[in-house]
Amino acid sequence: MFLSARAIAEMAGQEKVHFLNDAAVRTGKSLGDAAGLRNIGVHLISVRPGHYSTEHHVHLFEEECVYVLSGQGTAFVGQDQHAIGPGDFIACPLNGVAHSMLASGTEPLVCLVMGQRLNQDVTDYPNRKKRLYRNNGEWNLVEQADIQHIKR
């Protein structure tokens, strides 16, 4: 399945505000969905200056990565910060740390975001003290304080 740069440019982007963070706003085009991919997600995203790409988070099961195409930004990876620009790569392996990006330049931060699409995942939002359980499309959000950890 072939999607030309022109066809991609003509795709309507979808603006998405993160359900946990009004400052996390991105306009995305799902190249993967448009091309029929089901098990990996491939999104071309654009983040306007001053906005975050997503709420700071870490997936416990899904691997994800970002390749910067244009613009300038700041990547927050665990406790680290990195100035990012074209050609930089940010990966989120399993057992990793929370991550997010801020478009800190004067033009939009444009990235290719790729990741697994699993039926089940657990996502932690450390700054919100919340955990999201995703199972077959059902999204369960809980306060981390409400979780009872059962010892075996």
Q: Which parts of this chain interact with its own copies (CB under 8 A)?
A: 1-5, 8-9, 19, 31-32, 35-40, 42, 60-61, 63, 65, 67-68, 75, 77, 80, 82, 84-94, 96, 112, 114-116, 120, 122, 131-133, 135-143, 146-152
- How far is residue 60 from each of residues 2, 106, 121, 145, 148, measured CA to CA in Å? 32, 33, 7, 18, 18
* Amino acid making up residue 3: L
The least CB distance from residue 144 to its own copies, in Å, is 9
Strand-pair partners of 28: 14, 45
Nearer to its own copies, 106 or 146 (CB): 146
- Least CB distance to its own copies at residue 10 (A): 12
Residue 36 or 106 with smaller CB distance to its own copies: 36
d(CA 148, CA 152): 13
Dist. CA 81–CA 78, nearest whole Å: 8
Residue number with CB closer to its own copies (51 or 134): 134
Least distance from its own copies to the Cβ atom of residue 23, Å: 19
- Residue 42 or 48 with smaller CB distance to its own copies: 42
Q: Which two tokens stand for residue 57?
A: 């988070």
Cα distances (Å, whole numbers) of residue 146 to 9, 120, 131, 143, 149: 45, 21, 10, 5, 10
Q: How far is the CB of 121 from its own copies (least distance, A)?
A: 9
